[in-house]
Amino acid sequence: MIKNIKIKNFLTIKNLEINFDKHFNTIVGESGAGKSLILKAISEVFSIKNDTQMVGNFGDSCKISIDFDSNLSKYNFSQRNFTIVKILKKNKSQLFLNDIQLSNKIAQNIKNDIVNIVSQDYRFELFEKDRFLEVLDLFIDPNIIENYKMAFTNFNEAKKTINELKSKIKSIDNAHTEILIELIDKTDPQKDEYDELINKRKQIKQDLALKDFIQQLNALFYEGKNNLYDTIIASFKKINNIESDASLKMQNISNSLNKILDELNTLKPLFEYSKDDEVSIDNIERRLFELENLQRKFGKTINEILDEKQKLSQLIGKKNSMQEQLLEEQDKLQTLKDKLEQAAFQLTSQRKKQADRLIDGVMQSMSDLMLESADFDIVFEKVECSENGQDKITLFFSANKDLPKKELSKIASGGEKSRFILALFEYIGQLSQNTIIFDEIEEGTGGKTLTSIVSKLKNLSLQNQLICITHSLEVQNAADKIFTIEKTFENSNTVTYLCQM
């Protein structure tokens, strides 16, 4: 319910304030006085687009403030009393709800919970998106709606889980985990193997250098041309062939040579070496090449690669576990899908029943409003399940039964549409209980039709707040509160102002 609206510098409105009654309000005035500016101002507050051309000539900015009472718990507001303020400037706008900055999109959604505007110049929100589904749902057992919403939530959570599992499995597949493990296993590195081989190669090279030195000594002592061993043996032969009186000296020489020969015989086994070491270093070089090639491919050390293999193996284990979980979730999803379809079918069935009743009720009310030749239907189309069910609803209307019914929002004239909406609200009014703004609903009517319109407006106002912009004295006289809009000229500017009657 709208309690109050304050408008400053909006088109021709310089400064205006209206305190509405909670039941039946009328806004009256001469044609062109600016009655519809009130409706425009309300619509501008909740509009998705900002029309800065609405700023008047009485300042640099426009301010529209609306105090209202509503249940906005679904937007996480616990209170019921609100003030929404829109400030328009030449180059920007600001929107606040209880001093909290608000987006235009959320404001548009909130509008649907506060006010319905019925006018030839405005699109009627009940015909937009899923709004009429909400009307039908007012008459349905809340448990059926809640059962569907729970089934839809459970189904979507299962779908989300499946998609997440597929995404994670795909991520592991994209990492080519099995290929990398196969590459590592082909080389089969061992922990610390590379460093150990490097050290072993170093040791073998040192050993080979020593062997080379020993070979040189071996050639000098035993195997080379003019080697020491053969020279000593030859010396013994010469000594034996020499006859000398200095036998003691020769004996000493012979003894010394024998000692040298004994030492050479003792050293000779130490100069022996194995050919296996030469083969061994070739194997080490070959193995080091394999390990270094693996390290280049991974850009990591052997020990880091082994750690990586462990992580990759864990990923494969995780992937296998997720694949098992995926199969379980897919089975679960099918069960939840069946439950969702059952809940959707039940919700659709209830909506169709209520739609038939609503058609009968509205048709009867339209007859009272001299639309007895009119025809009205609610057509259901099955669509993909959403949070609102699997139904898309279109309202069809014909002013005369001999003409084919067409989509109501496109073919009905303004007066016919307004009277139809009045008939509709007469049926749903006790359950909707919000603010309804009618813009010249009586236009083009008189006599019994006008009397019926006034009666239905009065009855509707008992449960809903009505704001009627009207030229009709009959509508005006039925109101609880009347506001008269007039205009004047100040300093060459047209000024719209309010006179409460």
**472-488 residue pLDDT tens:** 899 999 999 999 888 88
Encoded amino acid at 96, one letter: F
Residue 429 in tokens:
């009014």
CB atoms within 10 A of CB 327: 11
What mean pLDDT value characterizes the chain? 85
CA distances from 60 to 4, 5, 10, 55 (A): 24, 20, 11, 7
Q: Is 363 exposed, middle or buried (0-12, 13-18, 19+ CB in 10 A)?
A: middle
The rounded percent of the chain whose pLDDT value lies above 90 is: 35
- pLDDT (0 to 100) of residue 432: 60
CB atoms within 10 A of CB 294: 19
End-to-end CA distance of the chain: 21
More confident residue, 207 or 130: 207
Q: Is the pLDDT of residue 430 over 70?
A: no
- The CA angle 358-364-365, to the nearest 5 degrees, is 90
Distance (Å, whole) CA 447 – CA 444: 11
Distance (Å, whole) CA 299 – CA 305: 9
Cα-to-chain-centroid distance, residue 313:
32
- pLDDT (0 to 100) of residue 172: 92
The winner for highest mean pLDDT among 111-125, 325-339, 383-397, 479-493 is 325-339
CB atoms within 10 A of CB 277: 13
CA distances from 40 to 35, 200, 434, 469 (A): 9, 91, 19, 12
Tell me which residue of 372, 362, 351 sits closest to 449, measured CA to CA: 372
Decide the pairing of beta strands 81-89 and 481-490.
unpaired
Distance (Å, whole) CA 230 – CA 207: 28
Taking the CA atoms of 157, 158, 159 and 161 in sequence, report the sign of the dihedral they define.
positive
Least confident of 222-226, 359-363, 460-464: 222-226
More confident residue, 414 or 76: 76
Distance (Å, whole) CA 65 – CA 42: 9
CB atoms within 10 A of CB 155: 21
Task: For residue 342, name the pLDDT band (cuts at 50, 70, 90).
Answer: very high
**HSE (side-chain half, CA atoms, 13 Å) at 25:** 24
**Across the chain, which distance is largest between two alpha carbons, in Å?**
176
pLDDT digits 0-9 by tens, 139-188: 899 999 999 999 999 999 999 999 999 999 999 999 899 999 999 999 99
Average pLDDT over residues 99-128: 73
Distance (Å, whole) CA 405 – CA 395: 9
Task: For residue 322, name the pLDDT band (cuts at 50, 70, 90).
Answer: very high
Tell me which residue of 58, 69, 49 sits closest to 7, measured CA to CA: 58
Predicted TM-score (pTM) of the model is 0.67
Average pLDDT over residues 308-324: 93
Q: Is the pLDDT of residue 242 over 60?
A: yes
Does residue 497 contact residue 482 with C-beta atoms inside 8 Å?
no
Distance (Å, whole) CA 364 – CA 475: 22
**HSE (side-chain half, CA atoms, 13 Å) at 24:** 17
- pLDDT (0 to 100) of residue 274: 59
Least confident of 127-136, 298-307, 318-327, 343-352: 127-136
Q: Is the pLDDT of residue 128 over 90?
A: no
Task: For residue 433, name the pLDDT band (cuts at 50, 70, 90).
Answer: low
Task: For residue 224, name the pLDDT band (cuts at 50, 70, 90).
Answer: confident
The rounded percent of the chain whose pLDDT value lies above 70 is: 93
Average pLDDT over residues 387-391: 92
For residue 435, the surrounding DSSP H or E stretch is strand 435-439
Average pLDDT over residues 382-386: 92
- pLDDT (0 to 100) of residue 276: 57
Distance (Å, whole) CA 127 – CA 133: 10
Collapsed DSSP state (helix, strand, coil) of residue 468: strand
Residue 375 in tokens:
């025809």
Residue 313 in tokens:
């193996």
Q: Is the pLDDT of residue 83 over 70?
A: yes
Task: For residue 407, name the pLDDT band (cuts at 50, 70, 90).
Answer: confident
Collapsed DSSP state (helix, strand, coil) of residue 494: strand
Distance (Å, whole) CA 42 – CA 21: 16
Does residue 68 contact residue 31 with C-beta atoms inside 8 Å?
no
Cα-to-chain-centroid distance, residue 323:
24
Q: Is the pLDDT of residue 102 over 80?
A: yes
CA distances from 409 to 114, 414, 438 (A): 21, 10, 16
What stretches of 73-193 adopt beta strand conformation (E)? 81-89, 93-97, 100-101, 115-118
Estimate the crossing angle of helix 276-298 against helix 302-368, to 10 degrees: 20
Estimate the crossing angle of helix 302-368 against helix 447-461, to 10 degrees: 130
Residue 99 in tokens:
């001093």
CB atoms within 10 A of CB 264: 16
Residue 440's region, left for phi above 0, alpha for psi from -120 to 50, else beta, is left
- pLDDT (0 to 100) of residue 243: 61
The DSSP 8-state label assigned to residue 119 in this structure reads: B
More confident residue, 483 or 92: 483
Average pLDDT over residues 405-413: 71
